[in-house]
Structure 1
Amino acid sequence: MFLLIYSSKILQKPQKSSVKSREISIMLLDVKFTKNTCTKLIGLWLKFFLFYSLLPFSTSAQEASFRFKRLGLEDGLSQISVNGIAQDVNGFIWFATQDGLNKYDGYQITTYRHQPSDPNSIINNHIHSIFKDSKHNLWIGSYGGLSKYEPKTDNFTHYNSPSLNDSDGKVGYIQSLFEDSDGELWLSSNMGLYRYSIDTNTYILYLPDDNKPNSVIHSEIKSIAEDSIGNIWIGTTIGVSKYNKRNNTFTNYQHSPENPHSLSNNFVLKIYKDSHNNLWFGTFGGGLDRYDNDTSKFVHHRTNTQNKNSLGNNYIRTILEDSAGMLWLGTNNGLYAFDSSKLIFQRFRHSVNDRHSLSHDVIYSLFQDKDGSLWAGTLGGGVNLFRPSTNVFKHYKSNPNNPESLNANMVYAIYDDDEYVWVGTSGGGLNKLNKTTGKFSNFTEPETSVGLGLNKVNYIIKASEAELWLSTNSDGLLKYNKNTGNITQYKHHPDDRNSLSNNRARGLAIDKEGNLWIGTAGGGLNKLDPISGQFTHFMPDTDNPNSISTNFIRCLLYDSKGRLWTGSYGQGLNRFDFDTETFINFNKDSVKEPILSNKFIRSIFEDKSGNIWVLTNGGIIKYDESKGSFHSYTTTDGLPSNVVYGALEDQKNNLWLSTNNGLSKFNPQNITFENYTKEEGIQENEFNTGSFFKNKTGEMYFGGINGFTLFHPDKIKKDKTIPTVSFTNLLLYNDAIAIGESERFSSHISSTNALNFAHNDDVITFEFSALSYSQANNISYRYQLQGFSDNWIETDHNHRRATFTNLSKGDYILKVKASNRNGSWGEETTDLRITIAAAYWETTWFRGLLLAIGFIVFVIAIQWREKALNNQNLVLDIMVKERTKELESSQEYSNKLEKLVQKRTLNLQKANTALEQSSITDALTGIRNRRFLDQQLSSDWAIQSRNNLPLSILMIDIDYFKKYNDYYGHQQGDECLQKIAKEIQSVINRPTDNLCRYGGEEFVVITYNDAEGAKHIAKLILKKLDELALVHLTSDKGIVSVSIGLGTMIPSIEVAPARLLKYADDALYRAKNNGRDQLC
């Protein structure tokens, strides 16, 4: 046996080892604490955790930081310095930027800018503030004045004060907006303090007056707030004023060096009243102040280098209290969470190496939406979104700027011994997390084989109370003594057949006798007798059907029945029989055992009921030993990915699964999955094999490609909130409808509940959004058009639209609803009533007119016919009388009379035929019409059904025909239709094929062809129209083009012909969506 024993030392600070490899092979970094210090830290952590679970072990510990979602220019922001944030009554989020006002629906951003030609556009592009009042009005303060958003018309009304722009040409701007308890609006500006009455539309301006000591202290106003007794507090650049509305006087407060209880700094950017009626003052240089009403003193919170829990930056720009009572501060150097009861500040900062950190450290604005998500607007970093209340996942990862963090993010092994968490990584070796301090220490890399081997630790299990077993990627097996730091190494030695068979050690397991089992990559299965130190090898033997199936063993499980299971990557599952020392192979045909469906095994797990679960590249597989069968669960059942790395069982018998697409909670009883992604704070969507552990308290660890995640299953509550959907946009023929474009569309779709459409609005699209922002990408949607279909159509967040074509006249209700991130659907829907007007020829008055005209014509025709017949009869009578005598005895009389009857009969038949042809012919183009199509399609359908032969339909639509009509006029439009019909007809040359005008600019070709034959006809049509080159200046192509949808079926009497038309119509829609002028 080949055995090495090394000793290690503890270092206080990370440093390169200067000791020779033979003297020292591994160094462990740690920090020593006194018992008293540790006790205080633990107590502080517990109190802080109970108050607000989102914060980590202690402020000096590695932060279990939020995962911030960023919005920037690439997401549609018009500018990345965000001065203000608000949410309107419909749920849209608004951002005030320095280049326009932005409205966000969770997926898309609409920008509003000043348009000189539009008096109802926003007054100026540089927006300083945005505010929603108690009546849900949205107010915007900018350079030049005050505006109010009008949601119905999607534009703005302006309320400008004449004094905001002075005679010297100085442009005034509104810094902030505030509504007092009397419903009056207060405006802070660089030109003074404004008090605006919404009811009377009048302003009162307050300016400093040297002759009046009770006037406002300065005209450069930055912030306004109201205290619990109705006083208005005003923050300026040289101090604070308190306005008493009852006696119309101001009391001023300024910093005094002689008074430690005075205002800490005169430059006050923000005043904020919290839920406990405390007034907070954010100063620019003096930190955070709280005004004590009882003592009339200011209490200061400033940077204190001797206090780790103090404020880290004294330049405070904004303040917000969230729904949980936490105070948030936006500063010039990060975002701070402040527990005012414990006086503890927690900082969140931008990290260049972490794309999920805060996007920028200068915070301009803070806002909490109705779902509890927090928004932080920055200077030059756009917007950040995070949700403290759902941050139950703690994420540990490497931070290059913090030497006490995890030193590598690729985590393959985790073990929690109650005091420390041991983490095996790739590239960083073994790490140790002190659970009390939250600090990581790690082994250095001395120039020995052990040090290099420790760069990747694959598995960690407990050897004894003082020792751990570690399998490494290339340096064999290690036993580490936690008390002494000694490491015993077991490696393969060619001259020692009792040594480890291969240095690439993988899965580990300990049997009831205390033997250690090691899976290797190339050396089969090994058993180590810890007393003798001897290894026994189990390898494949082609002559022995009961040998192990492969030399590459990835994972092991010693189950509760005393059996050893082995899993490999490509050679499946084996079970070892200790009595016979033989293997049962579940990968090949066997009389006794079933075949495993997927042989690429990541892990094997036994639940509390003794069920064996095999985690593979093809989902999770449950072994039912009583039935001798395997049952698989995959993505079709709700699993987020078929690649499953690890499994742990919680107290409620749920299995928590780490996968290649997030973390999943699986309920084996009702076969349901709840899936969690990186958006909710887990380390990343991709995890790693063997990287999972459950400690004694029920906490679970899962490691992956970006560190590891720690959580307790009981703290993860299922999201039961169902988001409400809002309509966001309306399109006709894929063109957005401008508000006010017609009387039918005078209101924005988000502010109406009914819409009317004309009969020729053939392609209508409705866009929608749930307006739930923290999990927008995990939301699904369903919609139903009552009156058209009772079916619900499901779509995802990338396709938030419903399109309907050629709706018949009548009334409909479009219903839309959304699921939450857990896939739960509510009953509540957002409804929109839709009315499709009848064409004039379908209206009652028109039909009545036609009937009246027809009746009159019929009466006149009868009268004329009767008169003509009478005249004719008179003439005939005379002729008959004259000729009767001559023909009376002759056969000639009989013959001529018969010919006369035949002639009159033939004329009547011709008239009837002409009338019938007129009823099935399009008057404009001369081709067959819709009536003929309905008759002919039914006939062709029956013929092809009897013959079991294909029937094809080409649905042809002229591209941008509405624009053509609008540009060239209806006469040119009619000529265009005639020319197009003529060109298409020239291609249709088989007697069984028919061309019909379907309506408007749509044509239909019925052809006795399969799909290939029909494609050939369609390509000839496209070629003919290209050669025709009919000019169309408003088209992208410059000439008239068509889009063609192809549908082919072998007809059946069980299916209506309308299905074939539907297939062609759907294909036409895809052709138009793909850019037009093409066949789909």
Structure 2
Amino acid sequence: MLKLAMLITDKYVLSMKFLVLLLLSMLYFVAANHGQSVQFRKLTSNQGLSHNTVYAISQDEKGQMWFATREGLNRYDSYQIKNYYIKDSLPGVSPDKIAAILCKKDSIYIATEDGLYIYDQKTDQIARSQALLARLSVLCLFKSAANVYVGTTNGLFKLAGNTSRLISPKNSAVRAMEQLSPDRFLISIGNKLEIIDKEGKVWKTFDAHTFAPLAVGNFDVFNMYKDGRGFIWLCTNHGLYYFDNDRQAFVRLHFSHAESREVNTVRAITSTDKDLLYIGTENGLYTYQLSTGKSENYGQSFDNSPKKLNDKAVYSAFLAKDGSIWLGTYFGGINYIPSNTYAFERIMAQDNGKGLSGKAVSQMMEDSNRNIWIGTEDGGITIYNPLKDSYSYINKTTSPFYLSINNVHAIHADGYGNIWVGTFLGGLHKFDLKTQQTTIYTNKPGDTNSLSSDNVYAIYRDSRGTLWIGNQAGVNIFNYQTGNFSRFRPEVFGNKFIYDITEDKNGDIWFCTRFAGIYRYNPIGGSFNHYSADGPNPVLTSNQVISLYQDSKQDLWFGSLGGGVMLFDFKSDTFKSFTTADGLPNNNVYGILEDGAGYMWLTTNRGLSKYDPATAHFTNYNNKYGLPSNQFNFKSYLKSSEGSLYFGSINGLCFFHPEKIAAKHPLVPLIFTDFQLFNKTVIPSAHSVLPKQIDYTHHIKLSYNQNVFTINYAAIDYANPGSTNYAYYLKGFEDRWNYVSGKNSITYTNLSPGNYTFYVMALTADGAPQSVQRSIEITVMPLFTRPS
């Protein structure tokens, strides 16, 4: 465990309050759970940022994110980035190089080398502050109650309304400020740290004698941050410090085992309301858990990996209202870690022993110890322990259990103490849990007692104790006494590609084939039923049947390629199919599971779908909702003993508790973003139909010939951008809601003179309201009006 070291001359110790916090805050930990690595999303100049150097980040009351860059101010609403530039400046200065920003009600305070500017959200304009007209270089901004404090190269100013007052000595640079108590502040001024009151009176000074690092000639404080527990952190070029308010002393936090100048150059910090710190350095991002001392470093990736930053120099950090973490970098723009509002969790491929051994997930199995065995097509087997959040692996190099090849397609526990694994090209593997031995069975040309193919896709032991093996050359039965295989009904299966096998409630065995439909075998009478999509009376919608699931009613569901999902009716011996015409997002169905409430979950090439048998309604989810991929993988699904659903994709594993998906989702802000007349944006002004920005406008009056207009709106959702569905209607023109999926603009043409009200609301994937309802009144005036 990393240790907190005190760097003060009189060797103060940590306060008891902080020690208790360190010991007890283990109760909270929001770092990546279940092996889910931190995933970064990026916003750069390619997505519309005005510059890739981001010095500061903030969020306004509406929920929009604001970024201060090397060249310009940027606003992001989860759909698009809008750039703002300062026009009023002196030659030779850089007003668009923004050092800090502060959101206060409907205003954004902007710190520049050319003074203080304020952006007015109502008018969508930037103007020089009337309270601080001097063209001073502004270094930091701080808000306390109704007051704004402005740190400059010429001292600290206190703003109140349109007036300002210098409350510190002149010619002293104030670089950072934080609030200790209602009437006490900690500031970095000159080469000292001071505690002042709200009028600037100095109550305590820390200099080289009371805080040793200040004796270093180049000691700089980049930033101060107050976490959710009230502790203040100093970001410096000589490490990260915590201020112990009880002892009036500073404490060094060693958050990395390997220290260097890059690691010790800490420019930014933020935290969750738990005990996890996000520390931005010149060596990337560090997460540090106070309760355990556990530290993780996220460096730079040159291939745009979502598991790493795109630039290791982190200059700013911010915790948004939805729990997402935002980082500003020097060359990489914005990197942010989204919150997971839809409760879809993921396990991704990692090479550090904390995730999957491969990214293409195939069949899964739960053993008697509740471990999840996860087959992959490119990395062998990962054994995941959900209770311990730990991983172990079986592959070509492990022992005693090992694989001849890492391409796994089938895993099955036979109930006799053996786990069987089918591979592509590597045959069938038996792991004997009692003897801890691995036995590999392969095809031996000319030997009919060997496997008929080394490409094994299905393994199933039925209620009679028969172990069935399905491969690319038919069906084999394993003889436990001799250790040999027999070919099952080669006249029926021949070289058919068997993809799945199961036993139904009547004891019949079902075989799903890759190209020849479905076979049903009655072991008592030895008879077969063949169901096909061919011939004059086809009963299937596809002959490519790749998955089979028996639900709680013991009904059978079959997933297919191109034919959707098919439900078998035992009474009529027929199938009912569900396809895109019924609401499925795609007709390739890879996996099928039933949750505890009776909903069916299906994986496809276009995401995940939930089917409600009571209403025959499909609710569809894609990667915008947090799935690891839209393309899931063949026969990769598992329901664990505690009710979690696991689905494998071509890029990792998705798992979730269905009741959490069905739970009420938090409301998201819904804002109006644009108003257009004849496809041209209306600029707010006193002489415009919009005196203020549309989101601040309640009533719009249009002339008779301004009857073609467009309204844009956006639900701000940083966790799942673009996933929100919408519904709208124009009262006075129509009398029912229009449900338009993710479309976030609407155009009306040739409206008759009259009074209208436009209503819009955001919806979740299953159609539940996800925002408050917004409205705007619109009046279209007639050509002539009667004089009053």
Same fold (TM over 0.5): yes
Is the counterpart of residue 470 in structure 1 residue 401 in structure 2?
no
Output the amino acid matched with 1:607.
D
Distance 2:410 2:494 in 1: 22
Contact 2:363 2:637 in 1 (8 A): yes
Distance 2:700 2:94 in 1: 30
Select which of 32, 47, 51 maps to 2:28.
Answer: 51
- What SS does the aligned partner of 1:778 have? coil
Is the counterpart of residue 596 in structure 1 residue 540 in structure 2?
yes
- What is the 5 A alignment of 1:105-144? 105-116=77-88, 124-133=95-104, 135-144=105-114
**Percent sequence identity over matched residues?**
29
- What is the 5 A alignment of 1:109-188? 109-116=81-88, 124-133=95-104, 135-159=105-129, 165=135, 172-181=136-145, 183-188=146-151
Output the amino acid matched with 2:32.
L
Contact 1:256 1:263 in 2 (8 A): no
Alpha-carbon deviations, 1:875-915, whole Å to 9, x = none?
xxxxxxxxxxxxxxxxxxxxxxxxxxxxxxxxxxxxxxxxx
Greater percentage in strand: 2
- What is the 5 A alignment of 1:406-425? 406-417=356-367, 418=369, 421-425=372-376
Match for residue 744 of structure 1?
689
Contact 2:207 2:214 in 1 (8 A): no
Alpha-carbon deviations, 1:679-731, whole Å to 9, x = none?
44433221211222333333443222113234444554534334343221122
Q: 1:828, CA displacement in angstroms?
A: 4.2
**CA separation of 1:499/1:162 partners in 2, compared to 1, >3 Å: closer, same or farther?**
closer
Q: 1:671, CA displacement in angstroms?
A: 3.7
Distance 1:486 1:97 in 2: 60
Select which of 577, 591, 610 maps to 1:646.
Answer: 591
Alpha-carbon deviations, 1:348-396, whole Å to 9, x = none?
4444456323333332223333433332222221223333454854433
Q: Pick which of 424-433 and 573-582 moved more.
A: 424-433
Q: 1:517, CA displacement in angstroms?
A: 0.6
**CA separation of 1:609/1:324 partners in 2, compared to 1, >3 Å: closer, same or farther?**
farther
- What SS does the aligned partner of 1:74 have? helix
Q: Pick which of 263-272 and 560-569 moved more.
A: 263-272
Is the counterpart of residue 301 in structure 1 residue 253 in structure 2?
yes
**CA separation of 1:406/1:152 partners in 2, compared to 1, >3 Å: closer, same or farther?**
closer
Select which of 406, 410, 415 maps to 1:455.
Answer: 406
Q: 1:264, CA displacement in angstroms?
A: 14
Distance 2:304 2:655 in 1: 19
- What SS does the aligned partner of 1:227 have? strand
Is the counterpart of residue 831 in structure 1 residue 771 in structure 2?
no
**CA separation of 1:745/1:696 partners in 2, compared to 1, >3 Å: closer, same or farther?**
closer
TM-score, length basis structure 1 = 0.64
- What SS does the aligned partner of 2:689 have? helix
- What SS does the aligned partner of 2:123 have? coil
**CA separation of 1:240/1:484 partners in 2, compared to 1, >3 Å: closer, same or farther?**
farther
- What SS does the aligned partner of 2:411 have? strand
Select which of 380, 387, 392 maps to 1:429.
Answer: 380
- What SS does the aligned partner of 2:239 have? coil
Distance 2:584 2:207 in 1: 62
Output the amino acid matched with 2:102.
F
Alpha-carbon deviations, 1:755-797, whole Å to 9, x = none?
1222222432222212233223111222222212223333343
Distance 1:624 1:324 in 2: 52
- What SS does the aligned partner of 1:755 have? strand
Match for residue 4 of structure 2?
none
Q: 1:186, CA displacement in angstroms?
A: 0.8
Alpha-carbon deviations, 1:151-179, whole Å to 9, x = none?
222112322677955xxxxxx43222111
Q: 1:651, CA displacement in angstroms?
A: 3.2
Contact 1:81 1:380 in 2 (8 A): yes
Q: 1:460, CA displacement in angstroms?
A: 0.8
TM-score, length basis structure 2 = 0.87
Greater percentage in helix: 1
Distance 1:379 1:48 in 2: 33
Match for residue 249 of structure 1?
202
Contact 1:683 1:704 in 2 (8 A): yes
**CA separation of 1:768/1:778 partners in 2, compared to 1, >3 Å: closer, same or farther?**
same
Match for residue 5 of structure 2?
none
Match for residue 278 of structure 2?
328
Greater RCO (Cα-Cα under 8 Å, separation 6 or more): 2
Distance 1:47 1:86 in 2: 31
Distance 1:256 1:671 in 2: 75
**CA separation of 1:692/1:827 partners in 2, compared to 1, >3 Å: closer, same or farther?**
closer
- What SS does the aligned partner of 1:750 have? helix
Contact 1:724 1:830 in 2 (8 A): no
Alpha-carbon deviations, 1:402-461, whole Å to 9, x = none?
377544322223334337543332233344456647344342369xxx999523111011
- What SS does the aligned partner of 2:695 have? helix
Match for residue 274 of structure 1?
227
- What is the 5 A alignment of 1:501-580? 501-521=452-472, 523-539=473-489, 541=491, 547=492, 551-580=496-525
Distance 1:115 1:468 in 2: 71
Distance 2:87 2:694 in 1: 22
Q: RMSD of the alignment, in Å?
A: 3.7
Match for residue 70 of structure 1?
42
Alpha-carbon deviations, 1:917-943, whole Å to 9, x = none?
xxxxxxxxxxxxxxxxxxxxxxxxxxx
| Count of residue pairs the alignment pairs up | 759
Select which of 390, 393, 398 maps to 1:438.
Answer: 390
Is the counterpart of residue 786 in structure 1 residue 757 in structure 2?
no
Contact 1:67 1:679 in 2 (8 A): no
- What SS does the aligned partner of 2:46 have? helix
Is the counterpart of residue 399 in structure 1 residue 350 in structure 2?
yes
Match for residue 843 of structure 1?
785
Distance 1:714 1:104 in 2: 32
Is the counterpart of residue 630 in structure 1 residue 575 in structure 2?
yes
Match for residue 183 of structure 2?
230
Is the counterpart of residue 495 in structure 1 residue 455 in structure 2?
no
**CA separation of 1:531/1:208 partners in 2, compared to 1, >3 Å: closer, same or farther?**
farther
Alpha-carbon deviations, 1:591-619, whole Å to 9, x = none?
9x982233221200111221111112322
**CA separation of 1:495/1:274 partners in 2, compared to 1, >3 Å: closer, same or farther?**
closer
Q: 1:743, CA displacement in angstroms?
A: 3.9
Q: 1:586, CA displacement in angstroms?
A: 1.9
Distance 1:766 1:404 in 2: 47
Q: 1:137, CA displacement in angstroms?
A: 2.9
- What is the 5 A alignment of 1:689-838? 689-716=634-661, 718-740=663-685, 742-797=687-742, 799-825=743-769, 828-838=772-782
Contact 1:269 1:284 in 2 (8 A): yes
**CA separation of 1:816/1:234 partners in 2, compared to 1, >3 Å: closer, same or farther?**
same
Match for residue 1025 of structure 1?
none
Contact 2:729 2:738 in 1 (8 A): yes
Distance 2:372 2:190 in 1: 51
Which entry has the higher C-alpha Rg, 1 or 2?
A: 1
Q: Pick which of 672-681 and 140-149 moved more.
A: 672-681
**CA separation of 1:186/1:468 partners in 2, compared to 1, >3 Å: closer, same or farther?**
same
Distance 1:115 1:306 in 2: 46
Unaligned runs of 5+ in 1: 1-45, 58-62, 166-171, 210-218, 542-546, 849-1080
Match for residue 909 of structure 1?
none
**CA separation of 1:734/1:370 partners in 2, compared to 1, >3 Å: closer, same or farther?**
same
Output the amino acid matched with 1:201.
T
Contact 1:594 1:628 in 2 (8 A): no
Select which of 257, 263, 266 maps to 1:316.
Answer: 266
Contact 1:255 1:266 in 2 (8 A): no
Match for residue 951 of structure 1?
none
Is the counterpart of residue 202 in structure 1 residue 164 in structure 2?
yes
Distance 1:661 1:537 in 2: 38
**CA separation of 1:305/1:824 partners in 2, compared to 1, >3 Å: closer, same or farther?**
same
Contact 1:415 1:693 in 2 (8 A): yes
**CA separation of 1:138/1:243 partners in 2, compared to 1, >3 Å: closer, same or farther?**
same
Output the amino acid matched with 1:187.
V
